[in-house]
Amino acid sequence: MDIPTPTIMLRGLTSSTTERDVRRTLDSEHANYTDVRLVRDKKTGRWIGFVDFVSANDAKQFMRDCQGEIEVRKTIIRLNYSNPKEKRDDEFDDASPTIMLRGIPTSLDHRDIRDALDDARVSYLDVRVIKDKTTGISKGFGFVDFASVHEARRWMDHQKGMFRVRRYEIRLMYSTPRNQLDSLIHHSGDAPGLLGPSSFMTRPPALSEVSTGDWICSRCSSHNFRRRDQCYKCQLPRSQVQSLTNSVDGVDLIGTTPCNTLVLRCLDALTTEDDICQVFQDTADVKVRQCHVMRDEVTHASRCFAFAELPTVADAYKVMDIVNKEFKLFEVGGKAVTVSYAKNTFKLV
């Protein structure tokens, strides 16, 4: 589209391109942007990028300065204006009483958003800006809860998909409300998650469907009868189930002794096993033998950490050496993740 908007779309990114690569290019061009997102094209497997700028004028100036193209990792990328309202793979477009805010600058917090909503006389229930638990820095997105779908839709229609806070343009989209998530999963078995569609690939047995004494595997979500000492599908020992279930982010599953199994933490909620395997192949030329993203045993939502079994300890050492000495950061799906040796090998995880 030729009409300037605050969002620019990047086409032609290679499958190995990361969000950090795009940010480096934008920073070198002194772009006044607020957010970068990468979405995988289902047909080609390549990434499509979306860059949110502070305003449509900033996006227009950037397009003019770059003459409609930029270079990312020695590849020429075409730039086009993107309609912030058009449906993309990373959006959840069904109306709900919760609206997600994307592209929140780190200089803004929930108080700034509250002030903007109050100044506009918007009737809302709550505002949340999601922050990194370790650093306390905003992750660039947040949520506004309304009393009803009607109230949320009315505000969304009025804002036309964008909300201005100070001088920043923040993108809006509908999101699954916290208090409706479980019911959505129970009735549909494939409900959209907070960060995009199809976060839950298949629904494991609900608690009400599990007989007394039976147990759900923490690794693959399979339903096992009470007499089984290990999962019939992935052979995870029953004794290991509780430790995995209690692990919030995988930090307590990190080991110090080199082995052929690595634990990846701080994953994006939509990262899949295929994404992880592809990164190992592209980054270290290592083929993953087995990989599993840990998921909630009831909702099947990603718990944002995973295990990857490599063919040998030497392969794992090679990856760790690359992470520690060359890249420093290991990125999956455009998001920096932490990589460590696992406390146990894949068969015992």
Q: What is the CATH number of the domain that holds 67?
A: 3.30.70.330
- At 103-152, the pLDDT tens digits run 788 788 889 999 999 999 999 988 988 887 677 777 778 889 888 888 89
Higher pLDDT, 224 or 277: 277
Neighbours of 233 (CB within 10 A): 13
* C-alpha to C-alpha distance for 39 and 51, rounded to whole angstroms: 11
The predicted model gives 187-198 an average pLDDT of 35
Same domain, residue pair 65 and 108: no
The predicted model gives 287-300 an average pLDDT of 83
With a cut of 60, say whether residue 157 has pLDDT above it: yes
Domain membership flag for residue 200: no
250: left (phi over 0), alpha (psi -120 to 50) or beta: left
Average pLDDT in the chain? 75
Tell me how far CA of residue 247 lies from CA of 157, 242, 284, 294, 303, in angstroms.
Answer: 41, 9, 28, 10, 9
What per-residue confidence (pLDDT) applies to 104?
85
With a cut of 80, say whether residue 332 has pLDDT above it: yes
* C-alpha to C-alpha distance for 345 and 349, rounded to whole angstroms: 6
pLDDT band, residue 6 (cuts 50/70/90):
confident
- At 232-252, the pLDDT tens digits run 666 767 766 555 545 556 777
Show the domain range for 130: 98-174
- List phi, psi (to 5°) of 209: -90, -10
Domain membership flag for residue 203: no
Q: Which of 46, 81, 116 is the last residue of a domain?
A: 81
Q: What is the pTM of this model?
A: 0.37
Residue 293 forms beta bridges with which residues? 306
Same domain, residue pair 250 and 326: yes
What per-residue confidence (pLDDT) applies to 210?
40
Please give the tally of structural domains in the chain: 3
Domain membership flag for residue 194: no
Stretch among 77-86, 153-162, 299-308 having the lowest mean pLDDT: 77-86
Strand locations in 161-243, DSSP E? 162-165, 168-175, 215-216, 223-224
- Return the percentage of the chain with pLDDT > 70, whole number: 71
Same domain, residue pair 116 and 65: no
* C-alpha to C-alpha distance for 327 and 272, rounded to whole angstroms: 22
- At 74-101, the pLDDT tens digits run 889 999 988 654 444 444 446 788 898 8
Higher pLDDT, 64 or 199: 64
* C-alpha to C-alpha distance for 143 and 261, rounded to whole angstroms: 36
Neighbours of 166 (CB within 10 A): 13
Q: Which of 130, 149, 174 is the last residue of a domain?
A: 174
